[in-house]
Amino acid sequence: MPEKDIFIEDIPLIELYGINDSRMHIIKEHFPKLKIVARGDSLRISGSHESIESFSKKIMRIQEHYRKYGVLSDADIERIMQGGDSPEPNNETGENHVIVYGNNGLVVKARTVNQQKMVEASMKNDLVFAVGPAGTGKTYTAVALAVRALKNKEVRKIILTRPAVEAGESLGFLPGDLKEKLDPYLQPLYDALYDMLPGEKLETYLENKIIEVAPLAFMRGRTLNNAFVILDEGQNTTENQMKMFLTRMGSSAKFIVTGDTTQTDLPFKQPSGLIHAIEIFKDVPGIELIFLDGSDVVRHKLVRKILSIYAEPRKKKAPKE
């Protein structure tokens, strides 16, 4: 049986093997037909030539990822194991995929091929739709692009908005003033901002309206000039709301719409403005549609499995006799 020794270089063994070999278990799950024995800084593998070659490329990609980013997570290993042997996305327009440098040494980068497509699409177009399931980094990447544009003085303000569909008539039962009632629905946007801007600076930006986080209804009647504007959870807009939002675009503005067409919270039989927009704008110059999928999930490794299970057609139960 063919054998090969692979030597681990430029990466701490604990990063590759994981605590109690937890990451090595992830790797072995993807190569059940290979015998893999870890011996210090080398791996002895035995099996078919094809499996050995594929395994070698995956380990090489893991080491390349660590050399490039300086960090390695379970999700990174899972994504590399499932992502085939294709190389990391090329970035001809930036420094190793870096979008913005955040707090406490955080480096925000495009971590998947489709996230990199989002970055490139935003640089080339003033309106981008980023559509995909939960955990694919749509909103986080969009916020990072907005923060970068503000830091580079490409825009004068950032506006982040969401439709407060989930609140419905229950909004009045929530405690506090209007802002306190709505803030829970906007919290994911605040979370991303706090990752990328120092707390004091962010508070100053919010107080001076340089950064606005507001429900979609607050956009009506405005013209948004010199702004980077993100509509999150776009699947929860009606067709009229989407039209209202898109027609707010003023001079020197950048718009990104994110959403997941499989998780619409609109009332029954109410068409989604995002789905409608995808259909009518798919061939319009200056507007680009980016579709993310399970391979872009950067959350817990189980999220990808959960999404794949939900995507399977539901089996019909046999009628009871």
Q: What is the pLDDT of residue 86?
A: 41
Q: Which of 8-22, 101-115, 244-258, 281-295 has the lowest mean pLDDT?
A: 101-115
Average pLDDT over residues 191-211: 92
How many Cα neighbours within 13 Å face the side chain of 125?
Answer: 20
Residues pairing with 214 in the sheet: 161
* Cβ atoms of residues 262 and 312 within 8 Å: no
Mean pLDDT of all residues in 287-295: 90
User: Do β-strands 227-231 and 211-215 pair in parallel, antiparallel, or remain unpaired?
Assistant: unpaired
Confidence check: pLDDT of 84 > 50: no
The share of the chain scoring above pLDDT 70, in percent, equals 83
Question: What CA–CA distance (Å, rounded) separates 21 from 15?
Answer: 10
3-state secondary structure of 62: helix
Which pLDDT score, from 0 to 100, does residue 188 have?
A: 84
Q: Is the pLDDT of residue 315 over 80?
A: no
CB atoms within 10 A of CB 80: 23
Is the C-alpha dihedral spanning 277, 281, 287, 289 positive or negative? positive
In whole angstroms, what is the distance from residue 261 CA to residue 317 CA? 27
**Range of lowest pLDDT (132-136, 165-169, 312-316):** 165-169
Please return the burial class of 107, using the count of CB atoms within 10 Å of its CB with bins 0-12, 13-18 and 19+. Answer: middle
**What pLDDT is recorded for position 320?**
54
pLDDT of residue 75: 74
Tell me which of 253 and 186 has the higher pLDDT. 253
What does pLDDT average to over the chain?
A: 84
Query: H or E segment at 82?
Result: helix 74-82
The region of weakest confidence among 50-54, 64-68, 216-220, 312-316 is: 312-316
Cα→Cα distances 61→87, 140, 316, Å:
8, 24, 41
**What is the rounded CA–CA span in Å between residue 208 and residue 228?**
16
For 46, the enclosing helix (H) or strand (E) is: strand 42-46
Give tens-digit pLDDT for 234-256: 999 999 999 999 999 999 999 99
Q: Counting Cβ atoms within 10 Å, is residue 301 exposed (0-12), middle (13-18) or buried (19+)?
A: middle
Query: Which range among 83-87, 238-242, 297-301 shows the weakest confidence by mean pLDDT?
Result: 83-87
Kindly write down the DSSP assignment for every residue of 93-145, as one continuous string. Answer: SSSTTEEEE-GGG-EEE--SHHHHHHHHHHHH-SEEEEE--TTSSHHHHHHHH
What pLDDT is attached to residue 85?
40
Task: Catalogue all structural domains in the chain, each as residue range(s) with its CATH number.
Answer: 3-82 (3.30.1370.10), 98-311 (3.40.50.300)
Residue 39 confidence (pLDDT) above 80: yes
Whether 170 shows a pLDDT value over 50: the answer reads: no
**What does the pLDDT average to over 119-131?**
95
The arithmetic mean of pLDDT across residues 2-14, rounded, is 87
